[in-house]
Amino acid sequence: MVQTTASKRPVVRTAAIGGKPAVFFDGGDDFLDLDVNIDAAVAPEVTVISVIQNQPGTTSTFAGVWGQDNGGYDRFLISGGVAWGTGVSNGNTFVPVAGLTAEGTRLVVTTTLRVDVTNGSTVYVNGALAATFTSTTRPGTSHMSLGNINGPGSTTGQGFDGYVAELLVYRRALSTAERSGVSRVRRRDQRGRHHRH
């Protein structure tokens, strides 16, 4: 993870989600550039698990938790903002996802994107299915970002306002057992057991 511009660096807070450390994004222009490529042409199947906590209030147009988008609805997750609400991209448009706007509480969000599989893409929030949809291929950028939707092209107005405790990226669709197991461990760890960051 990289952020060479000091004013755009998020900060680590030692007691954030459940008293555990997490990275705080200010909802403005903070983001981290990840040398991870989840472009649909490169990774037709991907699972992204994020452990987040939204701050109260709305500070941006699109509160992008993570993304790899060049303006064409490529791949991203939004937990708030005044423009669209909350949801995920499907390669063509925006798919609303219920349960992402909760403020001040830990959310484990598991997003699985499977290109051109009818209703094969899903979003789970704290283990409960929140959306099912069909995802398509749309060329995006070559890097993912955390705290914004546009990879290395991230701009003000698209920033996440809150904490990210963990981000896991799998370049495949996890099985139901794998997804449930990872989600369960993430929820348990944030309640106070030892946790890697």
- Whole-model pTM: value is 0.88
3-state secondary structure of 153: helix
The number of residues in the chain equals 197
Q: Is the pLDDT of residue 17 over 80?
A: yes
pLDDT tens figures, 33-59: 899 999 998 999 999 999 999 988 776
User: Given this model, what pLDDT does residue 183 score?
Assistant: 63
User: Tell me: the pLDDT tens digits for 57-78?
Assistant: 776 777 899 999 888 888 999 9
Q: How far apart are CA 111 and CA 132, in angstroms?
A: 10
Backbone region of residue 87 per phi and psi (left: phi > 0; alpha: psi in -120 to 50; beta: other values): left
| Average pLDDT of the chain to the nearest whole number | 86
Of 3-17, 19-33, 109-123, 148-162, which range is least confident? 148-162
State which amino acid sits at residue 131. Answer: A
Residue 186 predicted with pLDDT over 50: yes
User: What distance in Å separates the CA atoms of residue 129 and residue 60, rounded to the nearest whole number?
Assistant: 26
What pLDDT was estimated at residue 152? 64
Long-range (24+ apart) CB contacts under 8 A made by 35-38 are: 35/2, 35/143, 36/143, 36/144, 36/169, 37/68, 37/142, 37/143, 37/144, 38/68, 38/75, 38/113, 38/140, 38/144, 38/169, 38/171
- Please report the domains of the chain, with CATH numbers, ordered by start residue: 7-190 (2.60.120.200)
Q: Is the pLDDT of residue 153 over 80?
A: no
Looking at residue 194, what is its pLDDT? 40
- Evaluate if residue 190 carries a pLDDT over 60: no
pLDDT digit string (tens) for 107-142? Answer: 999 999 999 999 999 999 999 999 999 999 877 778
Pick 157 or 37 by higher pLDDT.
37
Amino acid at 137: T
What is the per-residue pLDDT for 197?
Answer: 36
